[in-house]
Amino acid sequence: MSIFIQYTVNGLTAGAFYALVALGYTIIYGIIRLINFAHGDLTMVGSFIGWTVLVSMGLQRLPVFLAIALAALASMVVTSVINVGILQFAYKPLLNKSLLAILITALGMSIFLQNAALLVFGAGVQAYPHLVTSSGVFIGGVRISYAQSIFFTISLVLMAGLYSFARFTTLGTAMRALAVDHDAARLMGINVNRVIAIAFILAAILAAAAGVMIGLYYTQINFFLGFLLGLRAFTSAVLGGIGNIPGAMAGGLVIGLLESYCAGYLSGRWQDVFVFGVLITVLIIKPTGLFGERVAERM
């Protein structure tokens, strides 16, 4: 039993990261109907920016919390700029053209970000500093590391923040309105282009947070980590019903758990088979996802 709980704790931690990235897929899909394949790679870039600040610029010598906060902040700013840049130069000109054209462009942006990171940071693995201790507390044979509890809590806070923003602020309401009808939103005086840009910034902020936490938690990153991460997060978003914010959160946690149980009880080699098996099953049986009833409405 304690083993099961241990796998659950591990799965929830990874799942929280997937959920943060999945939210990025879901927000952007909700607003412009684009599956932004570059989003996983944006998370990777976010991770590298954090690494740059902590290691290359040497901020890891500062007090831990200050160092991490600065790294996360720098990462959020840079990924936001990159994401809005991608929006303006790559996606915006195609917004009213075919969905396929913009989808292929997103794939292109994914490859672009990977290769840019390869060029700047090299092909090797980079080590994140061990800032958050991997020691922890034992409760009935289950080890919960400080890193796990801290990162899980931060993730939950970010998710709650995003949810409240979308649910309770007028700007968030405008964002949900865009999921329904862009022209009607314009007729309310909503600057649609600006709201889309804000959505891209929100997605980037969550991706940067996830990227830095992933670096600190797994302590190793490379330019290719965004690919699988992105696919898993995308699967999470589809599982929860893409376009649906609580759905992406739940989907991320479920995928994290599934992966952890699979790695624990079967073998780590099988976990991707399971995850993508889930994706295919959901797409066949319930394409609207777990929170299906409101997905038609996208967000």
Partner 1 sequence: MALLEVDDIHVFYGNIEALRGLSIQVDGGEMVAVLGSNGAGKTTTLRTLSGLERARAGSVRFDDQDITRTAAHEIVGRGLCQVPEGRRIFTTLTVAENLALGGYLMRNRQQELRQRRDVVYETFPRLAERRGQLAGTLSGGEQQMLAIGRALMTQPRLITLDEPSLGLSPLLARAILKIVRRFADEGVAVLVVEQNARQALAVADRAYVLETGRIVLEGAASDLAADERVQKAYLGGFEQIVEEEEGREKEKEKEDPSPLGGG
Q: Give the binding site for partner 1 (CB under 8 A).
A: 170-171, 173-174, 176-177, 179-181, 183-192, 294, 297-299
Smallest gap from residue 199 Cβ to partner 1 (A): 16
d(CA 227, CA 146): 28
Of 101 and 180, nearer to partner 1 (C-beta) is 180
Distances (CA, A) of 244 to 17, 23, 38, 167, 297: 17, 9, 19, 12, 8
Smallest gap from residue 88 Cβ to partner 1 (A): 17
Smallest gap from residue 19 Cβ to partner 1 (A): 22
Of 193 and 220, nearer to partner 1 (C-beta) is 193
Smallest gap from residue 178 Cβ to partner 1 (A): 9
Of 190 and 212, nearer to partner 1 (C-beta) is 190
d(CA 236, CA 155): 15
Contact 232, 18 (CB under 8 A): yes
Of 42 and 190, nearer to partner 1 (C-beta) is 190
Smallest gap from residue 201 Cβ to partner 1 (A): 19
Of 211 and 289, nearer to partner 1 (C-beta) is 289
Number of H helices, E strands in the chain: 11, 4
Of 81 and 297, nearer to partner 1 (C-beta) is 297
Q: How far is CA 25 from the centre of its chain?
A: 7
The phi and psi torsions of 143 (rounded to 5 degrees) equal -95, 125
Smallest gap from residue 181 Cβ to partner 1 (A): 5
In DSSP notation, 21-64 reads HHHHHHHHHHHH----TTHHHHHHHHHHHHHIIIIIS-GGGS-H
d(CA 256, CA 16): 7
Sign of torsion over alpha carbons 85, 230, 122, 125: positive
